[in-house]
Amino acid sequence: MAVPAIARLDMDPHDARGPPNLVVIAGVALVGLAAATYSFTSALRNPAVGAELGEALVIALLSNWLTASYVLCGLFAWWRRPESRFGPLLVAAGFANFVSTLSWTTNDLTFTLGQALDLVPPVIFLHVFLAFPSGRLSSPLERGLVIGAYVAAVALQLNRMVFGGFGENNLLEFAPHEDAALLTLRVALLTMSALCLFGATLLLVRMRGRARPLRRSSVVLVDLFAVGLVMIAWLYVSASFGGPFVQEIRWATFATLGVAPLVFLFALLNARLARSAVGDLVLELRAEPPPADLRDSLARALNDPSLELAYWLPDFGVFANLDGRPVELPDLEGRTTTLIDRDGEHVAALIHDPALEDEPELLDAVQAAAGIALEYNRLQAELRARLDELRGSRARIVEAAQHERQRLERNLHDGAQQRLIALSLELSMLQARIGSDPEAKAGIERARRGIAASLAELREIAHGLHPAVVSAHGLAVALEQLAARAPVPVELTVDVDGRLPEPLEVAAYYVVSESLANVAKHAQASGASVDVVQDGGELVLEIVDDGVGGADSERGSGLRGLADRVEALNGRLRVWTPLKGGTRVRAEIPCV
């Protein structure tokens, strides 16, 4: 089975990156580990670290765990998900964390650099959380927040360093001032705290906004890590004003931030777990009978109940549903369209939740599994679209003919028939006035008889063109006349609520009229029944006789015309005519 090619509508071609070179990955990993090791040893060698933070070993281990885990998890994510920027972002976060730990060194330059970036790690976490899972910040607000936070973190810290309080390695201590140092510290910490809280709020809003049933639990777990941001904010406020639980929250923050990259990794790669759903899909598609609606099966496999499937109909140049009705591909926020192609031709389009984009492997696997079934359904949709088209054109032809005949009937009625009646009346009145000339009277009488005969003929013609009584007074009234004029006793039952659409009534009238005419011509019946019942959304007509039955080609042509009328209205006409078993004509026409 050929695997269908896949093209994402909304994807920039430059984004289609391959996985990074393994040598590069190994190199970066080594650099990351070396950096963490260097930072760890610097911390142990620097007694000030221990004095300031307490248990130097623990702090150094945790900080460098952050560096190493972000770099390594980032690399792994980059390798497995080259299309996502999230891997590189994690790697960058790890290295940024490393740079901030340079404040543990005793070299003036590296110390100053490390101190200057001391407030950056929280911003990195903020950035990472907001950018999960694509690696991109999705809204201008998020971009503004992250850029602003980076600028603030560096600027406020530099400002603070000018007033001293960082020991002798600080190259930027130009104007030592204790009060100013404390003030700038508080401003910096409060600002960072506010930014972290703002970021956490954004995450919360985003979570609520896309309360998607399909989001896997691991993704939700990632969102919950936003609580880490709140804890950072708390730490900063406590550090500047001496709030409670500082130590406990510090450990919790380290733990949260430290576990985060593993959770990110797990969430990104979680698609593998969804493979079992693809296995179920394959089994489902092989079942006998195959599932009636492929959409439901795909929705289950993709875990997206909102999934819509549209099939490409090349001859119509549109996407359509399984019934062949055209479907507009949405151009909406919150919906993503994935085109499924085969041999350079569209087959179908999946309209799904954008969250599925995070799982391209699952999308690919599901499409591969559904390939043949999709093509089969596409053909079905195409067939139905063609049937619809044919039905529509037949309905239009029948309607146009009907319309024309109705127009002619009305012209006859309002024109020739009225004028002849007026003429006949004129003659009668003339006849009364001319007095005693018997020859003239007889002549006028002949003329009147001629007019009467013409009127009778015209009436027949007009009725043949269009049964005006049906349009004007409805089926029930019109059928009385047919039953009364039938050559055999007819039992007529009409159970219809009020009037029905005119084309339907006219078609039904012709079905009864033609069927009774057949009874007269062929059936040799002693009786017949006509039942007209409105059953739910359908008009059901049944004309039954007790005649000789037996199919008859002459009868066929009239019935064919009837079937055309009935089918043009989406109805069905069936005839049972067993030899010596009478004839039953049944028409079912939807009342729309």
Residues of this chain that interact with other proteins (CB under 8 A) are 410, 413-414, 417-419, 421-422, 424-429, 432, 448, 451-452, 455, 459, 462-463, 468-469, 471-473, 476-481, 483-490, 526-527
Q: How far is the CB of 550 from other proteins (least distance, A)?
A: 23
Nearer to other proteins, 141 or 452 (CB): 452
State in angstroms the smallest separation of the CB of 509 from other proteins: 11
Which H/E stretch holds residue 430?
helix 418-433
Taking alpha carbons only, the member of 87, 86, 160, 88 closest to residue 117 is 160
Question: Would you say 160 or 466 has its CB closer to other proteins?
Answer: 466
Closest to other proteins by CB, 414 or 535: 414
Smallest distance, other proteins to C-beta of residue 554, A: 23
Give the pairing type, strands 308-313 and 345-352. antiparallel
CB of 377 to other proteins, least distance (A): 47
CA dist 235 → 238, 243, 246, 515 (Å): 5, 8, 6, 91
Q: Can you spell out the DSSP letters for 121-133? A: HHHHHHHHHHHTT
Question: 327 or 427: whose CB is closer to other proteins?
Answer: 427
- Least CB distance to other proteins at residue 417 (A): 5
Cα separation, 239 vs 218, in Å, equals 33
Query: Least distance from C-beta 480 to other proteins, angstroms?
Result: 3
Q: Is 188 exposed, middle or buried (0-12, 13-18, 19+ CB in 10 A)?
A: buried
CA distances from 213 to 317, 353, 357, 366 (A): 33, 10, 15, 19
Least Cβ distance, residue 413 to other proteins (angstroms): 6
Give kind and range of the element (H or E) at residue 507.
helix 502-518
Q: Which residue lies nearer to other proteins by CB, 322 or 444?
A: 444
Closer of 306 and 431 to other proteins (Cβ): 431
Cβ closest to other proteins, residue 393 vs residue 418: 418
Strands (E) in 9-108, as ranges, are none
Min dist. Cβ of residue 432 to other proteins (A): 7
> Measured from the CB atom, is 178 or 460 closer to other proteins?
460
Q: How far apart are CA 77 and CA 71, in angstroms?
A: 10
